[in-house]
Every structure is written in C-alpha cells, then in structure tokens.
Amino acid sequence: MIPERLVRFRLHTILALLATIIAVAITLEVIWIARHVLTWVLISAFLALALNPLVEWLQRHGIRRRGWAAATAYLLTLAFFVAIGFTFVPTLIHQSDDFVHKLPSYVHDITHGRGRLGFLETKYHLQERVQHAVKTGGAKKALGLSGAAFSVAKGIISIVVAAITIGFMTYFMIIEGPAWVDRFYSLLPERSQPRWRKVGHDIYRTVGGYVTGNLLISLIAGGLTTLVLLLMGVPYAVALGLIVAILDLIPLVGATIAAILIGLVAFIHSIPAGIVVVTFFILYQQFENHVLQPVIYGRTVELSPLAVLISILIGAELAGILGALAAIPVAGSIQVLLVDWRAHRAEHAPVPL
C-alpha cells in the first residue's frame, strides 16, 4: 500500500500565487481597454523606426543635434507627402467628381441591360432584387439613418484624432527613443550590456529595414500601376494607383487583392486594357516576390518564406490587417532573440572532459 503524501502550502505561497493571477488579469484587462491606444503606439513606433535612418544620416552630415535632425526629417517627410497631395489630390478629386457625374448613366445602363454590366440585370435581375430589398428593409434602414450618420461622424473624428496623436507620438519617439533605450540598457548588469545592445541593434535593423522597405515597395507598386493605367486610358488611374499602394502594404495577399480589383475595373473599361493590366500585375508580382522582397527580407528580416507565411497568418488572426503588417518584424525580432539565446547557451556550455 502506497502511503499518502500530504502536501502543505505556505500562506505566503498561496497569497503570492493569488496576487500573480490578479495582476495578470488586471494587466490583460488594461491592455484590452487601451487596445486602440496601444495600436497607435505600435504604428508610431514603426513610423519612428522608418524615419530614424534619415535622422541618423542628417546627424552624420552636418546637423549634430538630434532634436534639429529629427525636426528636419519630420518636416522633409511632411513636405514630401504635401507635395504628393498637391500633385495627386486635384486629379483624385476631379476623377471622383467625374465618377459621381457618370454614376447615373452607369445605373441607367445596368437597369436597362446595356453596357458591360448589363448582364447584372438581364441575367441576375439586379433591379428587381434591389427594389425588393428596399421594400422589405427600406423603412428600417431609413429609421436607422441618424444612427449610421452618427457612426460615420464618430469614425471620421476618431481617424483625425488618431492621425494627430500618431504624428506627435512619432515625433517624440524619434527625439527621445535613443535616450529611452540607453536608460533601459543602464538598468541591466554592466557585463551583459554589450550583449543586449547587440541584440537591440539587430532588432532595430530588422524592424526598421522591413518598415522602410515595405513602404518603398508599396510606392513602387502604386506608381507603376498608375503609369500603366494612364497609358491604357483607364479612368481614375491616380485613385486606383493609391488603392494599390495601400493594399500592397499587406504582405503576400495585398498585391493579389489589388490585382483582382484593378483588373476588374480595367476590363470594365475595355478588354485590351484588362488584358494589359492583368498581365502587368502578373509580371510585377513575380518581380516583387522574386527580386524586391527577397532583397529586403533577406537583408533585414532573414526569414524563410514558410516562416513569413505562418507569421502573417497568426498575426492576421490575432489583430487583423495591423497584425499582418506587424507579423514579419515581430517574427524577425523573435528570431534575433532565439539566435542570441543559442549563441549565449553555446558559449557558456560546459566543456566535455
């Protein structure tokens, strides 16, 4: 017969365990409540990492003080986007206005079974379906109009507040980032500081290189798409190119989604334009996947394609588009930590006799 063992826990141990559980629960609750603010912080950190190479370049070439270099880099970046705005926004507004004026004729063609979208009425009876939906749910929708308008206004205000907040946080992160990092390193034991400084530098190189390279790739994709659409005479080329640039920020799937959307618009314009645009996207995706991305990911993140895919899927499942954007630099940072841990463990492993 096996004797019974009586396990006793000290009151101090039980209280420490309960305190740990409560602290973890409170931390998770605070993270959940402040998730939007934490998202802003994450975006600001990525933007600061993208601008930091320019700040360091300015410091090496005449502007010694970091505050002045950060202000110069920030103003140059704002001037760049303002210049893009003055270049493209008037065209974008003109194209949007033109689209609004042509929308009634598009609707007329669809309802009468004409044009390239006439099959929606002749084959699927779109007009009757819309009329049925309005009759069955129109009054309810009309009653909920004020709530929808309030939601839209609230969303616009939130976007404006988020943009202003992210702008200020990015600027302060650029100025104070190195000082904060040095304070963190100073809290570590002096003998381990060189190791963690190297790890921090590798993580910075990984994340900063990915953010900068991803922005550059998106600008290339949007610019080339706009050029092809202009050459083929497809309307709203600037607006469509901007959509491509935004979607291309999403790793792996963004370019495919953009190709489907822009290809459909081009086919609506004309069959030759659709063929040319789809061919362009096929060729460009090969160039981006086999030339641009390997150069950037290979030099900065150094992840295998399988690791990239898995990290993007996990990030998208956890935090949507933002998670997909952050997945690759986070995975690269984890890889840096694992490589350092293995090297440190091998360095301090006992020598066999």
- Tens digit of each residue's pLDDT (9 = 90 or more) over 234-259: 887 887 888 888 888 876 677 888 88
Domain presence at residue 135: no
Euclidean distance between CA atoms 129 and 116, whole angstroms: 19
Residue 11 is assigned to a structural domain of this protein = no
Is residue 321 included in any domain, yes or no? yes
Nearest alpha carbon to residue 262 among 309, 221, 294, 291: 221
Evaluate the CA torsion angle 295, 301, 304, 306 in order and state its sign. negative
Residue among 222, 257, 269 nearest 99 (CA): 269
pLDDT bracket for residue 224 (50, 70, 90): very high
C-alpha distance from residue 123 to each of 103, 112, 131, 205 (Å): 21, 12, 16, 56
Which has the minimum average pLDDT: 28-32, 121-125, 216-220? 121-125
Instruction: Say if residue 225 is exposed, middle or buried (CB neighbours under 10 Å; 0-12, 13-18, 19+).
Output: buried
In a domain, 88, yes or no: no
What tokens appear for 124 in the block? Answer: 């699927």
* 142-151, 258-267, 295-304: segment of lowest average pLDDT: 142-151
The answer on pLDDT for 120 being more than 70 is no
At a CB cut-off of 8 Å and minimum separation 6, what does 282 contact?
A: 259
Q: Indicate if the pLDDT at residue 11 is higher than 50.
A: yes
Report how far residue 169's alpha carbon sits from residue 294's, in angstroms, rounded to the nearest whole number.
31
Whole-angstrom distance, CA of residue 157 vs CA of residue 168: 17
In the predicted structure, residue 5 carries a pLDDT above the cut 50: yes
What pLDDT does 33 receive? 84
Query: From residue 152, how far is each of 37, 84, 138, 157, 280 by CA, in Å?
Result: 20, 27, 19, 9, 36
Band of the pLDDT at 89, cuts 50, 70, 90?
low
Q: How many domains does the structure of the chain reveal?
A: 1
pLDDT digits (tens, 9 = 90+) for 19-53: 899 999 998 888 888 878 888 888 888 788 778 88
In a domain, 101, yes or no: no
CB under 8 Å to 56, separation ≥6 — which residues? 69
Q: Where are the alpha helices (DSSP H) in the chain?
A: 11-33, 35-60, 66-111, 119-122, 126-143, 145-186, 193-231, 237-247, 254-269, 271-287, 293-299, 305-347
What rounded mean pLDDT belongs to the chain? 77
Residue 144, pLDDT score: 47
- Give me the domain span that covers residue 309: 198-344
For residue 24, tell me if it sits in a domain: no
Q: In the predicted model, what is the mean pLDDT of residues 319-331?
A: 77
pLDDT at 140 over 60: no
The answer to whether residue 133 scores a pLDDT higher than 80 is no
* Helical axes 126-143 vs 145-186, angle rounded to 10°: 80
Residue 138 has pLDDT above 70, yes or no: no
End-to-end alpha carbon distance in the chain: 45
Q: pLDDT band at 279, cuts 50/70/90?
A: very high
Within a domain: 299: yes
- Is the residue at 335 inside a domain? yes
Rounded CA-CA distance 32/42 in Å is 15
Average pLDDT rounded to a whole number, residues 180-201:
86
In this prediction, residues 148-161 reach a mean pLDDT of 71
